[in-house]
Structure 1
């Protein structure tokens, strides 16, 4: 877990600049501006933990305005969806012309590839879940339609998801890495359920049978990635469809079922190689944990996908984090 708390021994402006840097490195590049009385003391705290391919952070500070601008987006960064859960205080979030006023228990979906603003008129606390866009898009059709929409705690499954995330934050340091990665699938399930049920039926996007099947199949694959026996036959049997139909479902995706499974496993291995807490495991051990059963095959696939060997990627990514001071998410 990365913990940042500006030292009171430093001048207020230095504390704030340190805070802005830490927030940008943890989530994505933003500009933070102090709200309220500018010469007042600044207080902030940031904690960040890693699940599988996702990051979970908790952030709190005195009044603050946050801006993600086009100049930030032009910088090199990964594409994430940020799920912002209001824990204490009030937050006002806007993106793509939508504005959501968040009260404790509410949450909103944001994208790092579009500008947004976030205003905290009083002291606040938020939990932030950072999800690589490829992961959520593999589970949910058109996540973009939910951006900037207030997900009220008293509607649908929203409150259940918020409570689950807050409970996880309180205990995450006591979990084994393997358990934290399994919990990631549970969070995704609840998030997809909450978002999907938030729009009245008459306003939802039309979904044909193929679309419904493909998203159920991808969800099953994600939950069983670490099972080396995961095969098209196993998936088809679990979903009550034929193997032939399963392959037909993936034809419009532009890749086979097997290739999709491989890409998701490689993404999981990549996330583990970035994580210093996984340094006690060799690259081969990590590969086996994610369902690969041949070290040479894994090494070749990883290099084709990311243009470097697993060892080179681990060294480069962790050196970059060390130089930055806080892991980017």
Structure 2
């Protein structure tokens, strides 16, 4: 359940004090000073995702500082990753000064002094977690703080839309899913820190691999959607179609071919199942996203060497003999009825 703290209903004279107390209780002890006179308006919404705390904050121009005295009041070392949604900021930590623009990421070590200066109204997402959960050396974190991390390309381009989506849907996940998702997010943060701290040594394929896994999982979960396409996948992951196709370079297939291959695999599995009642071929095809029966039959025959109906009849025949995707006769009990059997279409 979201914790929402806002100055909206607070008397004008009490708003600054209220806001200081709100961010101190929600994030960490810090001092907040408005940059302008007049009524101060601010709002923060906080949720939990396992051990990851996710906060979305919007406020008028302000200065934020965390001093050694305030740090001493904290019982646990924390790290925060911020996503600047709107407005700008000047971030100072570890002797470095960074001008943070809209869309930039920042890594802030809560256990060392820092300051943020927001010259106008701003909005930001803040992901806060115990530093020990990152599993990276303190020296690496120190090298990354005090910098603005762009998100136009590289790993930042992958991470930013994911974090923005996560911040808006944190309270929708059951506990078991939230715990696993928190672990995945922390892995991504550790990768970001490693990439920035050791640009010459960081694995250049790490970001690509993470995104590929997400794309493949999206495809597997949406095979039955007839509108599943490179365009819809790119839109769901907030990347360009061109970049999506680049991800699959070297994978031995294209996005479109992967979608069709996975659909055919699921159709092949379902058609091979034995049972007293069996769905029609057209029903199976529609269930897995094929809207054109003729196209499905042509694609199935091209991959399996037989029509969908022949495939089902031979694999469920009483003599127990069927055809493998390559057309070789094998006992159907050794393939069709084996849990997790590979019924992938032939590549030949």
- TM-score normalised by the chain length of structure 2: 0.54
Counterpart selection for 1:55 from 53, 56, 64: 53
Query: d(CA) in 2 for partners of 1:52 and 1:113?
Result: 21
Counterpart selection for 2:70 from 52, 69, 72: 72
| Equivalent residue number for residue 315 of structure 1 | none
Query: d(CA) in 1 for partners of 2:44 and 2:64?
Result: 15
Q: Which has the higher contact order (CA 8 A, sep 6+)?
A: 1
Counterpart selection for 1:150 from 142, 145, 148: 148
Unaligned runs of 5+ in 2: 203-348
Structure 1 position 113, deviation (Å): 1.2
Structure 1 position 28, deviation (Å): 0.8
Cα deviations across residues 41-61 of structure 1 (Å, max 9, x unaligned)?
A: 211110111111121111110
What is the correspondence of 1:87-106 to structure 2 with a 5 Å cutoff?
87-106=85-104
Query: d(CA) in 2 for partners of 1:79 and 1:201?
Result: 26
SS at match of 2:196: coil
| Equivalent residue number for residue 122 of structure 1 | 120
Q: Is the 8 A contact 2:143 2:197 kept in 1?
A: no
| Equivalent residue number for residue 28 of structure 2 | 28
Number of residue equivalences: 201
SS at match of 1:197: helix
Query: d(CA) in 2 for partners of 1:112 and 1:198?
Result: 19
Q: Is the 8 A contact 1:20 1:32 kept in 2?
A: yes
Matched, 1:43 2:41: yes
What is the correspondence of 1:239-254 to structure 2 with a 5 Å cutoff?
none
Q: Is the 8 A contact 1:156 1:198 kept in 2?
A: no
Query: d(CA) in 1 for partners of 2:198 and 2:140?
Result: 16
Counterpart selection for 2:109 from 108, 111, 125: 111
Matched, 1:186 2:184: yes
Q: Is the 8 A contact 2:29 2:74 kept in 1?
A: no
Query: d(CA) in 1 for partners of 2:40 and 2:87?
Result: 16
Structure 1 position 200, deviation (Å): 6.2
Q: 1:200 to 1:71 in 2, by over 3 A?
A: closer
Q: Is the 8 A contact 2:134 2:189 kept in 1?
A: no
SS at match of 2:154: coil
Query: d(CA) in 2 for partners of 1:201 and 1:5?
Result: 41
Structure 1's consecutive aligned runs of 4 or more residues displaced over 6 angstroms after TM superposition are none
Unaligned runs of 5+ in 1: 206-329
Structure 1 position 197, deviation (Å): 2.2
| Equivalent residue number for residue 229 of structure 2 | none
What is the correspondence of 1:295-306 to structure 2 with a 5 Å cutoff?
none
Q: Is the 8 A contact 1:105 1:159 kept in 2?
A: no
Cα deviations across residues 191-219 of structure 1 (Å, max 9, x unaligned)?
A: 222222235645x69xxxxxxxxxxxxxx
SS at match of 1:157: helix
Structure 1 position 142, deviation (Å): 3.0
Q: 1:54 to 1:139 in 2, by over 3 A?
A: farther
Query: d(CA) in 1 for partners of 2:142 and 2:182?
Result: 21
Instruction: Kindly name which structure, 1 or 2, has the bigger radius of gyration based on alpha carbons.
Output: 2
Q: 1:29 to 1:86 in 2, by over 3 A?
A: same
Structure 1 position 180, deviation (Å): 1.6
Matched, 1:85 2:83: yes
| Equivalent residue number for residue 7 of structure 2 | 6
Q: 1:114 to 1:170 in 2, by over 3 A?
A: same
RMSD: 2.0
| Equivalent residue number for residue 134 of structure 1 | 132
What is the correspondence of 1:218-297 to structure 2 with a 5 Å cutoff?
none
Query: d(CA) in 1 for partners of 2:90 and 2:157?
Result: 19
SS at match of 2:102: coil
Structure 1 position 77, deviation (Å): 2.5
Structure 1 position 65, deviation (Å): 0.5
| Equivalent residue number for residue 264 of structure 1 | none
Q: 1:200 to 1:181 in 2, by over 3 A?
A: closer
SS at match of 1:198: helix
Q: 1:19 to 1:148 in 2, by over 3 A?
A: same
